[in-house]
Structure 1
Amino acid sequence: MKKMKIVTFLLILFFAFIGVYQLNPPAAAPINAPLAEFSSGRAMKHLEAIAQKPHPIGSPEHTKVRDYILQELTAQGLSPTVQKTTVVNPRWGTPFVAGTVHNIIARLQGTNNTKAILVAAHYDSVPNGSGASDDGAAVVAMLETIRALRAGSPLRNDVIFLISDGEEPGLLGAKAFVDEHPWAKDVGLVLNFEARGNNGASVMFETSSDNGWLIQEFAKAATHPVANSLTYSIYKLLPNDTDLTMFKQAGFPGFNFAYLNGVIHYHTFSDNLENIDQRSLQHHGDYALALTRHFGNLDLKDTKKSDCVYFDILGLALIHYPSLWVAPLTVFVVLLFVGVVVLGFRRKQLTFSGISLGFLAFVLSIVSASLIVTLTWWMIGSLHSGYKAFPQGDTYNSQFYMLSFVALTIAITSGLYVWFRKKISIQNLTLGALLWWLIFMVLTSVYLPGASYLFTWPLLFSLVGLGFIFADNRDCAKVKRLVVLTACAIPGIILLAPTIYLVFVALTLELSFVVMVLVVLLLGLLIPHLCLMAIPNKWLLPTASILVSLSFIVLGSLTAGFDASHPKPNSIFYGLNADTRKAIWASADKQPDEWTSQFLSKDTEQTKLAEYFPTVSRKFLKSQAPVVQLTTPLIEPLSNDVRDGTRTVRMRITSPRQARIIRIYLDSNTEVLGAALNGKKIDNYTSDRTASAKEWGFNYFALPKEGIELTLAVKPSQPLKLKAVDQSDGLPEIPGKSFPARPKYMMPTGFASGVSDSTLVSKSFTF
């Protein structure tokens, strides 16, 4: 029996490992792979060209990247066009996001088109990152997919390739395509590719609604599917957006793909060629090529069918069934649960008090593990203050802490069950835990059907195993029982282990306690195993788990520093208020470090910067700076008419120093009756002037040299007061002063509209 316990323990570890291991992307294909196949080796040649430097929208590098993509598309026999237009996206309210975009669009003609497939990715990066993963990998995957498609048989449907602009500041290119491009009406399916890290499997994490037919066909085409309806259900509840958001609003059916590991590199300088995992690029490409070929030969006129529940099994196959099955399955499992309980009582292996205590034991395990892990992470963060520099809430060595917290949760849970086992039988403890599983199953079935599979199937198999114990009614240490229990636990391990890992990657260390709830849930399926393996050395597992946890915390501490491969982020920017002729150095960091302290003097204060960001409530570090002679933004009135009680002012806004971004804010007392940018009406503007309302304004990206034209309709009874803040990349030269460059172990903080390593000039205007 002792050998059997060891084998059981190893089997549990094996299937947990396999469940997580399958989340690795497929092997990278070499540059000499067959021409009809996708090769990440060939795609990397393109990435080396477009991901050399940061290329945010409106920058000179951005133009170079666009020219390279156009050149490659033309070389592949396509006739790409550039959609240049002004876009205003009011999705997030005021200040609105706007800009001049240059979408790159090409079309591969099919033989008998029903509806076109739209393959989409964006080519702009954040200001302080070269965007090798976000979203360069998707762009070059598209270029290699085009080459492979042209090397194979022609498709039935047309394929439109949209390499969009301005995704980072606010989905501008996608909105431009949906609203204005004539090909938008031809789209029958969208494949959108993104990245939120620098490695890992490409996860199909979002679909459009009524996805039954889409998932059915996706299951046929994808060779290494990593997808589940849990991510789709949760993502719908989150405020996150990608270009697919715009496509879904337009009614396009579609899929969204992204690899998520290495979020610490997301939107930073370290999202570069050196850090990208070529296998993740390969997975992007495998999806793009296989799905384009599959859907390219289907009728895309009617793609909507009621939503379904889906999940992959070890990346080998995608299981899917209609959401209509959720209710019957739930009822069946509830009835099975009742039947097992009745059987347990008849065999005198269950008691009401025992089940109640088992129920309390499980919730105590969840609460204890969550609280202790949260406290542990707080202590680690206090010990290593550098971890707080990352806005993502993650670390370079997060895998050590993840393993530590999982081991700590196992120690806490197994230790509690050793204590409870003295007073409660294994059967009552198990049934008490499964009662929680039943509650979660019912709740998800009602409120989050796409997540119900995660509770339905593990609970179903566990009930079968527990029912077998009750029916057998002999010595619970028998080998046959342990074999049956282990077999019935395997489906739960296979489903939950990768889910735990993906949730951890998505939520980061900052929300580790949520992940530990899932770990305890998994352990709830293994209570019989934990109890049986505790005989006769009942404290062996808790003690060993504590030692493992401490070991990984030590490993985390030993690797907590920063170096050229793991740089520390920090920020600094220069601001000049042309109205007061005063200048500042400012930082979004919590405190100065050894490099930013050369800008931030001892009198540094933490305060809001209303003269530069009137609508931003966060505080910045601020210190006085030398005043540099910089050309200010300019607002020139073109016309000023008053009719029917409305004053309409038309003005031109320029940046003589050719800043890439300009921000316009109106005085909070001004009520806007109507507005337009370059003739584009701004809908959904905020006219509510309650105390909590933000000032009206917009952030304009890729400001043209000739400027933009703003038209405002306001009440004529008061003057029109505006504040213009233009923002250029790079810090100004300070006469008579030089500042050492960042050490190699540091990097500028990267954000889509971030201000680190930039120069802002603010000026007020009254008309």
Structure 2
Amino acid sequence: MTAGDAAFVHLRALQAIADRNGGNRALGTPGYDRSVDYLADTLRRAGFRVETPEFPIVIGGDSDTEEESGSRPAGGTTRNVIAQTTTGRPEEVVLAGAHLDSVPVGPGIDDNGSGAAALLEIALKLGSAPPVANSVRFVWFGAEEEGLLGSQHYLRTLSAEQRRDIALMLNADVIAAPNAGYFVYDGDNSNGGGTTGPPGSAAIEKILADHLASLGARPAGFPFIDDSDYGPFVNAGIATGGVFSGDSGIKTPEQAATWGGRPGVPYDPCYHRACDTVANIDRVALDRMLDTLAFGIGSFATDLGGVPSRNQRTTG
């Protein structure tokens, strides 16, 4: 069984949770709470110390249409999930993050069960006490679909020194689209259209891009446009990167010639729809993206490479 196959087992579990709880795993629903429990229980059985801190739901703006996100719960609390290795330098944290919530209209298996399941499987394979130089922290964020609330709250709860302890952030959001693209975040904004990442982001881009290419998927850069949980980390001055298979954007003929798939249609035609089920997953993309994330986590847990060390870092 490949790591992608193992992650698909977790995706089936998330689908079953949605099926038993109104068809979704959205903020403020039993489906989301059961998703948190599934991750936390699985990690604890593997020996991780797991925290599921609550944070208040404070919603503003209208980043999603009502058709996509449904009615927005106001007030109350939701939870992030946090697990960290007991080994490695705690002042040089390699943080891997993914959002766990879906939109209310569907189970959210590509968006973002795919990233959540990939990081869960990487954590299980790595183990809670691996022989690493730098500690690895996994964080599954709540309320991303309502405006990156979980990642924003997470960083707000850290002191300046705790933020400085984070060497880098690797984001996993929508990594198995059925008409997949193979994107890595454009750390130096060399393609334009986004924000230049903090120092070290270009080094992350190169590590991930080179590994994706070694798997037979020629990568393209995707700009930092503050549309996923990487955004608060970029804004805090933390080196950031990650992989992305595309969502509502349209695959071009040139991309289809490079990657395969269908030109002129979205990377994920079921993005923010009820059909975002396990049947919506590209198993090849899931395997490649998971492998790339695992390689990046392992590389930086061993050696920060071109990412600034703690005494060189400044964070916002």
TM-score by length of 1: 0.32
Q: How does 1:668-683 map to 2 (within 5 A)?
A: none
- Corresponding position of 1:47: 11
- Corresponding position of 1:103: 80
Aligned 8 A contact 1:188 1:252 in 2: yes
- How many Å apart are 1:116 and its aligned residue? 0.3
Deviations 1:24-55 (A, max 9, x none): xxxxxxx2x4xxxxx11111111111123211
- How many Å apart are 1:187 and its aligned residue? 1.1
- Greater strand content: 1
Distance (whole Å) between structure 2 residues aligned to residue 102 and residue 209 of structure 1: 28
- Corresponding position of 1:188: 167
- How many Å apart are 1:228 and its aligned residue? 3.7
- How many Å apart are 1:124 and its aligned residue? 0.6
Q: Cα gap change, 1:66/1:221 in structure 2, threshold over 3 Å: closer, same or farther?
A: same
Aligned 8 A contact 1:193 1:257 in 2: yes
Q: Cα gap change, 1:245/1:124 in structure 2, threshold over 3 Å: closer, same or farther?
A: same
Aligned 8 A contact 2:208 2:242 in 1: no
- How many Å apart are 1:246 and its aligned residue? 1.2
Aligned 8 A contact 2:205 2:241 in 1: no
Deviations 1:28-87 (A, max 9, x none): xxx2x4xxxxx1111111111112321111111111111111110101110110110125
Residue 132 (structure 2) pairs with residue 155 (structure 1)? yes
The one-letter code of the counterpart of 1:59 is T
Aligned 8 A contact 2:54 2:80 in 1: yes
- Corresponding position of 2:185: 205
Q: Cα gap change, 1:55/1:255 in structure 2, threshold over 3 Å: closer, same or farther?
A: same
Q: Cα gap change, 1:170/1:226 in structure 2, threshold over 3 Å: closer, same or farther?
A: farther
Residue 229 (structure 2) pairs with residue 243 (structure 1)? yes
- Corresponding position of 1:753: none
Aligned counterpart in structure 1 of residue 47 of structure 2, from 60, 77, 98: 77
- How many Å apart are 1:151 and its aligned residue? 9.5
Q: Cα gap change, 1:282/1:247 in structure 2, threshold over 3 Å: closer, same or farther?
A: same
Q: How does 1:380-529 map to 2 (within 5 A)?
A: none
- Corresponding position of 1:287: 292
The one-letter code of the counterpart of 1:253 is A
- How many Å apart are 1:97 and its aligned residue? 9.8
Deviations 1:252-288 (A, max 9, x none): 1111321125332100011101221111211221122
Residue 64 (structure 2) pairs with residue 64 (structure 1)? no
Distance (whole Å) between structure 1 residues aligned to residue 202 and residue 286 of structure 2: 27
CA RMSD of aligned residues (A): 3.0
- Corresponding position of 2:281: 276
The one-letter code of the counterpart of 1:69 is L
Q: How does 1:599-748 map to 2 (within 5 A)?
A: none
Q: Cα gap change, 1:185/1:98 in structure 2, threshold over 3 Å: closer, same or farther?
A: farther
- Greater helix content: 1
Q: Count the aligned residue pairs.
A: 261
Q: Cα gap change, 1:265/1:105 in structure 2, threshold over 3 Å: closer, same or farther?
A: same
Sequence identity (%)? 24
Residue 219 (structure 2) pairs with residue 227 (structure 1)? yes
Aligned 8 A contact 1:86 1:98 in 2: no
**Which of 1 and 2 has greater Rg?**
1
Aligned counterpart in structure 1 of residue 119 of structure 2, from 134, 142, 153: 142
- Structure 2 unaligned blocks of 5 or more: 19-23, 64-71, 188-196, 247-265
Deviations 1:439-488 (A, max 9, x none): xxxxxxxxxxxxxxxxxxxxxxxxxxxxxxxxxxxxxxxxxxxxxxxxxx
The one-letter code of the counterpart of 1:257 is V
Q: Per the alignment, in what secondary structure is the counterpart of residue 262 of structure 1?
A: coil
- How many Å apart are 1:198 and its aligned residue? 3.5
Distance (whole Å) between structure 2 residues aligned to residue 291 and residue 271 of structure 1: 27
Deviations 1:287-345 (A, max 9, x none): 2210011011114544989xxxxxxxxxxxxxxxxxxxxxxxxxxxxxxxxxxxxxxxx
- Corresponding position of 1:171: 148
Aligned counterpart in structure 2 of residue 267 of structure 1, from 265, 272, 276: 272
TM-score by length of 2: 0.73
- How many Å apart are 1:110 and its aligned residue? 2.9
Aligned counterpart in structure 2 of residue 132 of structure 1, from 109, 112, 129: 109
Aligned counterpart in structure 2 of residue 118 of structure 1, from 95, 117, 134: 95
Q: Cα gap change, 1:275/1:79 in structure 2, threshold over 3 Å: closer, same or farther?
A: same
